[in-house]
Amino acid sequence: MTDRRNFLKSSSLLLGGLWLSPGIAVARTKISPSDQLRVALIGCRNMGFGILRHHLALPEVRCVALCDVDQNVLDEKLKEVETATGTRPEGFNDFRKVLERKDIDAVIIGTPDHWHCLIAVAACQAGKDVYVEKPMANSIGECDLIASAAKRYDRVVQVGQQQRSGQAFIESKDLVKSGHLGKIRKVNIWSNFNYGLGNEKQSNAAIPAGVDYDFWLGPAPLRDFNPNRFHGSWRHFWDYGGGLMSDWGVHLLDMAVWAEENPSAPSRVLTYARNVNTENRDRDTFDTMNVLFPKKDFLINYDMNGGLQTGPYGKPYGIAYVGDKGTLVVNRSGYEVYPEWSDSPKSPKCEAKKLEGTKESHNLHVANFVDCIKTRNQTVCPPEAGRIAALHAHIPNIAARVGAEELIWDDSKREFVGNKAANALVWPDYRKPWTLPKV
């Protein structure tokens, strides 16, 4: 735990736009070429670039290539990396050209979700290790392909579910598994965020200068350009993402699954989904969902509300592990244990505990990835964990899309039981000339 806290402290330099401290810059000069790790970023806006920053906070990491289909974004980020590190990476618009470079050890995939599978599988086939943002892919079938590719080509893959590297969540899982809360009855999860409503409707527009929009769409259906389906808000449309459910849901549901004795895909899923707010909103996905996952160890109850920003325990999002002896409530800021009480004599059934002031753990998640590249050990969030978490988000979305209140998933056969409409959504239909990768 001391190493974790020290790394968190050392990486605080990434806040506020400051990239590299003098100490890290000096440390870089002492790393021999044979010990350097050369990375490329594919998809350079927002989260992808943030993950690259955390890589570059490690002195052994070099960024040798950036790739984006928006030349405006690419030019901006090339300049930022050059200013921060003193070296300008090579710029690309086509990820396939990046993967042709033999000197690249690992790639970071920060694209919209509908691109994750194609790029991740191709990267594994090219001998690159992979950090892929969550959800691991935009469909159940594509998640399987990534997991299969990682195994066949013996690649280190880290899925960007960074809570697994966070102190608050690690300690919470340990408390749950130690029996501190007694037998866990259920895990209540909630995520209430205003952006879950999607943007207000806008008219179609001209494709921005410098954007290869056809390549941005890639395997997704051909559509006229609309700002709402592009940078920043693409996730509200099934072609590219799964809305608030797959954005925040996959993070929080992963933490419930992580506490299972033997983490598994959901078998029975009960879903309520509606778009309650219909005031000029542009989206395919749902703003309101309640989902029940009856699991072997406990019940998982997920409650999602786009357009709201308050929730239980005064938190917009969180997880409550409800046990016979107490309830543990956790989010990225920390956790608190609320003991149950015995009546005679009146006394707490477990010890109250509290942790405050924890922060985001992207830096620790990246550090784990880099360490595993060196050791060839399994990452803290390997492909199978990413697959299972993604299924907990994709299955409710599929249920909502086909109007099924209940779906039964047979994970051994990779299909839904008795629902053709749901099975039709297990795999995406790729737009030509793109085809599903073969592993």
pLDDT digits (tens, 9 = 90+) for 101-148: 999 999 999 999 999 999 999 999 999 999 999 999 999 999 999 999
pLDDT digits (tens, 9 = 90+) for 239-276: 999 999 999 999 999 999 999 999 999 999 999 999 99
Q: Provide mean pLDDT across the span 18-47.
A: 80
The pLDDT, as a whole number, for residue 15 is 39
Q: Does 13 or 282 have the greater pLDDT score?
A: 282
The pLDDT, as a whole number, for residue 10 is 41
The pLDDT, as a whole number, for residue 432 is 97
Contact yes or no for 101/65 (Cβ under 8 A):
yes
Same domain, yes or no: 106 and 154: yes
Give the burial string for 179-197 (b: 16+ CB within 10 Å, else e).
Answer: ebbeebebbbbbbbbebbb
Considering the domain boundaries, does residue 369 fall inside one? no
Same domain, yes or no: 186 and 150: no
The pLDDT, as a whole number, for residue 7 is 40
Q: Provide mean pLDDT across the span 151-158.
A: 98
Same domain, yes or no: 281 and 311: yes
Q: Sheet containing 90-92: which strands, arranged edge to edge?
A: 90-92, 61-67, 37-42, 106-109, 129-132, 157-159
The confidence band for 19, taking pLDDT boundaries of 50, 70 and 90, is low
Q: Does residue 20 register a pLDDT over 90?
A: no
**Residues with Cβ within 8 Å of residue 241, at least 6 apart in sequence:** 112, 113, 114, 138, 234, 235, 247, 285
Amino acid identity at 360: E
Considering the domain boundaries, does residue 438 fall inside one? no
192, 161, 177, 173: which is closest to 361 by C-alpha? 161
Same domain, yes or no: 78 and 116: yes
- Say how many domains are in the chain: 2
CA pair distance 345, 298, nearest whole angstrom = 29
CA pair distance 135, 112, nearest whole angstrom = 10
Amino acid identity at 236: H
CA pair distance 243, 33, nearest whole angstrom = 42
Same domain, yes or no: 246 and 392: yes
The pLDDT, as a whole number, for residue 25 is 64
* β-pair type (268-274, 157-159): unpaired
Same domain, yes or no: 313 and 408: yes
Considering the domain boundaries, does residue 429 fall inside one? no
In this structure, what CATH number is given to the domain that contains residue 391?
3.30.360.10
Same domain, yes or no: 271 and 293: yes
HSE-CB for 175 with a 13 A CA cutoff: 30
Q: Provide mean pLDDT across the span 170-194.
A: 97
Amino acid identity at 276: V
pLDDT digits (tens, 9 = 90+) for 57-112: 999 999 999 999 999 999 999 999 999 999 999 999 999 999 999 999 999 999 99
pLDDT digits (tens, 9 = 90+) for 312-338: 999 999 999 999 999 999 999 999 999
In this structure, what CATH number is given to the domain that contains residue 49?
3.40.50.720
The pLDDT, as a whole number, for residue 23 is 65
Cis preceding linkage at 294, omega within 30: no
Torsion of CA 310, 316, 318, 322, to 10 degrees: 0
Considering the domain boundaries, does residue 32 fall inside one? yes
Same domain, yes or no: 233 and 91: no
Number of Cβ within 10 Å of residue 421's Cβ equals: 12
Same domain, yes or no: 49 and 144: yes
Considering the domain boundaries, does residue 391 fall inside one? yes
Same domain, yes or no: 260 and 345: yes
Considering the domain boundaries, does residue 365 fall inside one? no
Give the burial string for 307-322 (b: 16+ CB within 10 Å, else e).
Answer: bbeebeeebbbbbbbb
- List the beta bridge partners of residue 331: 334
Q: Provide mean pLDDT across the span 374-394.
A: 98
Same domain, yes or no: 197 and 312: yes
CA pair distance 47, 54, nearest whole angstrom = 11
Q: What single string gives the DSSP state of each residue in 342-400?
A: EETTEEESS---EEE-----HHHHHHHHHHHHHH-PPPSS-HHHHHHHHHHHHHHHHHH
Considering the domain boundaries, does residue 294 fall inside one? yes
In which domain, by residue range, is 219 found?
Answer: 168-359+385-423
Residue 93 CA: distances (Å) to CA of 31, 84, 128, 275, 387: 30, 22, 19, 37, 28
Residue 7 CA: distances (Å) to CA of 35, 80, 343: 20, 24, 45
Same domain, yes or no: 77 and 210: no
Considering the domain boundaries, does residue 283 fall inside one? yes
Q: Does 11 or 44 have the greater pLDDT score?
A: 44
Q: Does residue 390 register a pLDDT over 90?
A: yes
The confidence band for 6, taking pLDDT boundaries of 50, 70 and 90, is very low
